[in-house]
Homo-oligomer: A and B are copies of this chain.
Amino acid sequence: MLALTVKANTSLELTVTYAGNTNATIDDVAKRAHVSAMTVSRYLNDTGPVAAKTAQRIHAAIVDLNYIPHQGARALAARKTNTIGLILPEMNDIFFFQLIRGVQQAIAGQQIDLLLYSAATRGKPDVLNLPLGPHNTDGLLVFTDGLDETTLRRLHAKQFPIVMLYRTPPADLEIPTVLIENRQGAYDMVTHLVRCGHNRIAFLAGSADNEDAVWREAGYREALAAHELALISPLCASADFDEAAAANVVTHWLATGQEMDAIFAADDVSAHGAIRAVQAAGLGVPDDIAVVGFDDALLSQYIDPPLTTVRAPTEEAGRRAAAQLLRLIEGDSAELLTLLPTEIIIRQSCGWLSSNADTSQNHPTTKPD
């Protein structure tokens, strides 16, 4: 079991090797407890009555033998893996932790494992390269575009339990989905900017193929209309959720003499770019131009000035999605759509305090309307 290897050209190196290992089976436990394997199974899964005395003997045998049921065998016999899968397109932000933590909360104490797959490091899954599916999970949580539509359709056709997160499923597929209020959040943010006294509000949109981006722009447009503000076409440009692109757009606006008193960026990253561009032009945020974002990224409270933004309940999204999936797996009904509210986080980049503190009006601090 322990092998010492001396390499001639280096100093002494310690290495280990293991031989194959063996584990106690349910039959071992059964023999030691003087019952049949089936009774042990009943004891373990609570699928039938077991006399107190028998249960004690079984328990003792399990402890003595360090017995842990083999999941593969269980999955095979019971046709259930007790595992759910989470497919993420990537993993590079605190955001995903909140999501994962939510999922773990939902499965806590239920003897369910979480298999994690992130497309970023292993390539996009497709029909014949499916890392997670009916073969190793009871159901799947699919975040945004972690899974292509073909695979999604195929799994759905097999009636495999799936819950989607932050992505609307194809219109003809009845897949339960958890979404956040992108449209309403954007609408609320514009309303807040208006209340701050801004009325020439520019918009840095995200990529057109991004679902979040589309809804956020829709909310922006609706809010402008609702507040009877004209949409100034040149002031609504795409920044692709990119910091440099956002900075470029804003710099161009300023150079061409576009007038604006606020910039609403469709995400915090482009808001960051916008702030830098405004400051680089010698203007102040929020005094000359207010800048707000969307997402409440980890860094947004630390940048200068601290960013006013829209926050989504990520952890709860994970929790709710997992809960729906568990219902689906149990054969219960799940809600087709769970829409979670967003919340405006007011910091300093919107100019709320500087322009309104002196009016002494009684405004809520975090969620005005």
Contacts and interface: CB of A to CB of B under 8 A. Distances in A.
A159 B161 CA distance: 37
B19 A159 contact: yes
Interface string A83-119: 1000000011110110011001100110001111110
A16 B108 contact: no
A18 B328 contact: yes
A325 B97 CA distance: 25
Identical copies in the complex? 2
Contacts of A75: 70-72
B72 A76 contact: yes
A358 interface: no
Which 5 A-B pairs rank lowest in CB-CB distance, beginning with the nearest? A72-B75, A15-B333, A14-B336, A71-B136, A104-B121
Given A18-B159, A121-B101, A333 B5 contact: yes
Please classify how large the interface on chain A is, using the bins under 10, 10 to 19, 20 to 34, 35 or more: 35 or more
A360 to B, nearest CB: 30
Most buried by B among A68, A115, A123, A136: A136
A231 interface: no
Interface stretch (A32-40, A124-132, A201-209, A283-291): A124-132
A241 B173 CA distance: 50
B68 A21 contact: no
Interface of A: 1-3, 5, 13-23, 62-63, 66, 68-76, 79, 81, 83, 91-94, 96-97, 100-101, 104-105, 108-109, 113-118, 120-123, 127-128, 130-136, 154, 158-161, 174-176, 298-299, 302-303, 328, 331-337
B81 A92 contact: no
A98 to B, nearest CB: 9
Nearest to A18: B159
Nearest to A136: B71
A23 B158 contact: yes
B333 A17 contact: yes
